[in-house]
Amino acid sequence: MNDHTQWMQANETYLATALAWLRLRLEKLAAQETKPAQLVVEPVTEKPRGFFAGLFGRSAPQPAQPAEVPWTSLVPRDTDIVEAEQALTQAERNEVPPALMILAHRLELSHFEQQVLLLCAAMDLDTRIPSLCARAQGDPQRSYPTFALALTLFDEPVWNALLPQNPLRYWRLIEINQPGATPFTAAALRADERIVNYLKGLNYLDDRLAPLVEPLFGDVGHGEELPRSQEQQATELVSRLRASAGAGRAPVIELLGRESEGKRAVAWKVASTLGLNLYRLSAGLLPAQEPDFETFVRLWQRESLLMPIALYLDMGESVATGAHDTQAAATARFLGRAQGVVFLDVEEPQRIPDRPVYSVEIQKPTPQEQRSAWLQAIGEGAEDLSGRLAAQFNLSRREIEQIAAAVPDETEADILVEERLWEGCLAASRPKLERLAQRIDAKATWDDIVLPEEERALLRQIAEQVRQRSRVYEDWGFRQRMNRGLGISALFAGESGTGKTMAAEVIANDLKLHLYRIDLSAVVNKYIGETEKNLRRVFDAAEDSGAILFFDEADALFGKRSEVKDSHDRYANIEINYLLQRMEAYRGLAILATNMKSALDQAFMRRLRFIVNFQFPGAKERKLIWQHVFPKADASRGLAGTPVEGLNYDRLAKLNLTGGSIHNIALNAAFLAAQAGTPVTMPIVMDAARTEFRKLERPINEADFRILEAVGKQI
């Protein structure tokens, strides 16, 4: 027989003894005339609601000491009542106290309050009690306990017992049914269902809380070891909580950052180590209005004293950033009053008055820990691939295991396994940037872009640095020597249409990474502080995937810092300073594009790792662009290609245009040819070129176009 079974049997014996004593008292009262009760009025004081130290895993409460007012009555009693009281006293002194004694200790019930609670609970525990209540009160209709009955039934009753601030009503242990003009003392009393079951030894979460909170254990590993960095944080929190036990209210543990999975895992580890069951509550479900809020707070306070539980309060970004003032205020009120250990999932520190707070930032496993997880998931011999995956993507161990498990067959070619793992990482870490950025489907390759060799070499160097980050930062130790600048930033400067966006596509396609063009109209906000918040969301959302961020027309956002003449100047400079810091801290590649290089702040320029100047293409580059601008046939993809006939690329190269304008002309010429049902010819290209020149408000020398057109006709 285990300890729990033994305790349940002892608790049943105690309840049977207590009910037998209660029946004898009711029978005696029913058989005699009711005498006026000698009331004791205690002063009304606010009882302290201290945190019960046993929730931290300490031993159960010691057996209750004999009360100052013994169960034995001060008036003469029949022998059977005396024997019942002696048996009850003996049952209270078990090695582990019965449930009623534990509840009285934790909720600070007085002796008379215990008796009142027993009388009310007996209605559900013993079918003989209702008729005895009716007989004792001399009214067949009153087959229920009342406060008047309790005052008469028990020795030295206390009138203050049912005041709202005293335990019976404060903790909602009993309910008072007082319809119409029924006197207070004659109103029916009933024990709370949860409390009746607790007295029977059934300890479960109140069903009024169950729709709002959920057990937190299924998605955090069921006891699996945490990464070493998170394990150390959990161990430190356990030490702090144990040191604070008995020193007042339990602290709020602020889990900072965006790593929700890691926060839940750390919280579950701490709670399980302390012997606490962890429940999660979304702050959006927290009642904001009375009386629902007060009921929820009291019930949670009560449950935290009756059960070994802790709360994981998930505030979420909307509440954390103050988007819902009412809900944020309700959260702060709840934290100020809640009992027990509370883990607060929030991105940034919150103001929590009148309560100790421990703050710790939870992050994904370190790159080295992720590398080890990859190696364990995909097998030995994949050190190089594990390093590349860990360097490019920031994933939890569970995500790594899920991605690796999705690769079906170990007999596949290594190159195919690598591609599937990479695609799985891209899918798992795709950033949620739809509101602030536009995802670009990168299709351009190195064969599509035409640049001088120096600029082309710089672009390849950028791509190679992204590939080799793991080796340089981790294996060669540069991460240990650097506290900033681990990201890679580049500036693409040049006129519109010179290939800046295409260059970003080429790099993204080569690295097989997501490419996002940042929408400056959605990021920049006239209200003070909002631009920084939007920038933070951009970088935070893209951080885990290592996505390439492409800030087009960056001079609008990264302009020169101005002399501070008013508050607007000061906050404008703060935006730039914040952006400089985030650019250096971002672990991925950030590309800035501008038509006005001179407008950028020089301090910002110094912190860029690469600056690629996109010059206006010369005749040689323009000829190459014209030669590649019309799609070629590709049987492998079922492409027929664009039909062309008689194009003179040397002549076309003399048109002083950028690559972007050449692409526009080629596209318009293709539509004109499709409409005419002919291949693309020189006259068609010239018509499209005239349209482009007019759009650019460029002067048109018709003589040059006629000469070119004539040459085109001769060909």
What's the CATH number of domain 619-714, 3.30.200.20, 3.30.2270.10, 3.30.530.20, 1.10.8.60? 1.10.8.60
Report whether 329 contacts 283 (CB < 8 A).
Answer: no
- Nearest alpha-carbon partner for 93 in 76, 77, 71, 74: 71
> Rounded to whole angstroms, how far apart are CA atoms 506 and 171?
66
Question: Mean pLDDT, to the nearest integer, of 15-20?
Answer: 93
Q: pLDDT digit string (tens) for 139-170?
A: 899 999 999 999 999 988 999 999 999 999 99
* DSSP type of residue 34: P
Q: How confident is the model at residue 715 (pLDDT cuts 50, 70, 90)?
A: very low
pLDDT of 98 above 80: yes
> Within a 10 A sphere around the Cβ of 413, how many other Cβ atoms?
8
Point out the least confidently predicted range of 102-106, 202-206, 336-340, 350-354. Answer: 350-354
Same fold across 438-614 and 619-714: no
- Nearest alpha-carbon partner for 208 in 284, 306, 298, 339: 298
- What is the structure's pLDDT at 221? 46
Residues 6 or more apart in contact with residue 564 via CB below 8 angstroms: 570, 573
Q: How confident is the model at residue 184 (pLDDT cuts 50, 70, 90)?
A: confident
Asked if the 213-361 domain carries CATH number 3.40.50.300, the reply is yes
Q: How high is the mean pLDDT of the chain?
A: 82
Q: Assign 279 to helix, strand or coil.
A: strand
Residue type present at position 516: Y
Q: Write down the residue that tokens 């006259």 correspond to.
A: 683
Q: pLDDT digit string (tens) for 314-352?
A: 987 544 444 456 677 788 888 888 888 999 998 888 888
Q: How confident is the model at residue 446 (pLDDT cuts 50, 70, 90)?
A: very high
- Nearest alpha-carbon partner for 337 in 301, 373, 309, 365: 301
Residue type present at position 348: E
When comparing pLDDT for 487 and 71, which is higher?
A: 487
**Any idea which fold 438-614 has?**
Rossmann fold (3.40.50)
Q: Write down the residue that tokens 């580890």 correspond to.
A: 269
pTM of the model: 0.76
- What is the structure's pLDDT at 559? 58
- What is the structure's pLDDT at 704? 63
Q: Write down the residue that tokens 């899918």 correspond to.
A: 427
Q: Assign 534 to helix, strand or coil.
A: helix
Q: Write down the residue that tokens 């109103």 correspond to.
A: 187
> Rounded to whole angstroms, how far apart are CA atoms 125 and 547?
64
In the chain, where the domains are located:
3-199, 213-361, 367-429, 438-614, 619-714
pLDDT of 459 above 70: yes
- What is the structure's pLDDT at 663? 93
Q: How confident is the model at residue 665 (pLDDT cuts 50, 70, 90)?
A: very high
